[in-house]
Amino acid sequence: MENKQIAITQFGGPEVLTIQSSPVPSPQKGEVLVKVAFAGINPLDAKTRAGLGWVASQKKDNLPWVAGYDISGEILTCGEQAERFSVGDKVAGFVGFPLQGGGYSQYICVPETELSLVPEATTLEAAAAIPLASQTAVQALDKAGVHEGQRVLILAGAGGVGHLAIQIAIAAKAEVFTTCSAANLDYMATLGAHAINYEFSPVSERVEEADVLIDLVGGDAALDALHCLSDGAKVVTVPTITADLICEKAKMLGFDATGMLVSPDPEQLDALLYMVSVGLLKTEIQHIYPMSEVDKAHQQIETGHTRGKILLDMQC
């Protein structure tokens, strides 16, 4: 059996993503072999492929590199002392973060501690869509201490992280305001958020007295959104590139501000997969690309206008 993986041997545009074959690996102690059904795509995958950011700087002398942190699939073999799962179990995980990656593989060996069981009522598509994005959403909302009755402004509510963050904030009984383009206004309303079209006017002209800002855009949009906040508001800015700038300006205005780096937490993923299984969390999947069209998938994520998530089907 061969294992096709999507690797980069050099940094560059989507065309540097190439399919390589290697033998299917054998699980080591504490690991399981997963046949990957779907791999989720995140902006970090494309940023690293392009040679930008911290992961790329760490990997530059150590290519090829296989991207991908979000996987769902089925357990094929359990290694020695790997006893949490059985052969045939459906699992999902936020794996190899941040340096190893490896999710864009048909077969991958993963420490069993990095995986969660996928409930029967959750599809493998949904399970691959949520690991990194939903944990970013939960961890950002937790950092901000979001609670019942608060007014929470989430920039980029239609994106991978945003569409989940809106639903989780609403489940915590917050009132949610969000920004999106005209094309996503109706979609945002279906999730229960007050949607503001950023193409029409700056959000600072439309929202006031917000207790929390979850910034998923960074840069000028985030700086403008600081003018929507009440005294003592909390700011969590998620894009790392502009985090220092946003935090500095937010603190000058008297707000409590922080950046963040998501951290994989399988127990948190268990809870999120359960929320999906009972319909408390709805995943939006814009498109599923066959692995041979990974270049198109990266072009899409790089538009910055993906609605919800995009996935790779790793078995076709």
Interface with ligand NAP (CB under 6 A):
42-44, 133, 136, 155-156, 158-162, 179-181, 183-184, 198, 216-217, 221, 238-240, 260-262, 301, 304-307
CB of 54 to ligand NAP, least distance (A): 11
CB of 259 to ligand NAP, least distance (A): 7
Picking from 301, 264, 288, the residue whose alpha carbon sits closest to that of residue 125 is 288
DSSP string, 274-300: HHHHTTSS---EEEEEEGGGHHHHHHH
Nearest residue (CB) to ligand NAP, 122 versus 134: 134
Residues β-bridged to residue 91: 73, 117
Q: How many CA atoms lie within 13 Å of 125's alpha carbon, on the beta-carbon side? A: 14
Cβ–Cβ under 8 Å, residues 49 and 8: yes
CB of 245 to ligand NAP, least distance (A): 14
Nearest residue (CB) to ligand NAP, 17 versus 82: 17
Beta-strand runs (E) in 222-268? 229-237, 256-259
Q: Measured between alpha carbons, how far is 132 from 137 in angstroms, rounded to an integer?
A: 9
Nearest residue (CB) to ligand NAP, 5 versus 135: 135
Cβ–Cβ under 8 Å, residues 163 and 190: no
Residues β-bridged to residue 5: 20, 105
Nearest residue (CB) to ligand NAP, 7 versus 221: 221
CB of 76 to ligand NAP, least distance (A): 29
Residue, CB closest to ligand NAP: 159
Residues β-bridged to residue 289: 312
Nearest residue (CB) to ligand NAP, 18 versus 240: 240
Nearest residue (CB) to ligand NAP, 85 versus 97: 97
Q: Measured between alpha carbons, how far is 265 from 43 in angstroms, rounded to an integer?
A: 20
CB of 203 to ligand NAP, least distance (A): 8
CB of 162 to ligand NAP, least distance (A): 5
Q: Measured between alpha carbons, how far is 234 from 76 in angstroms, rounded to an integer?
A: 45
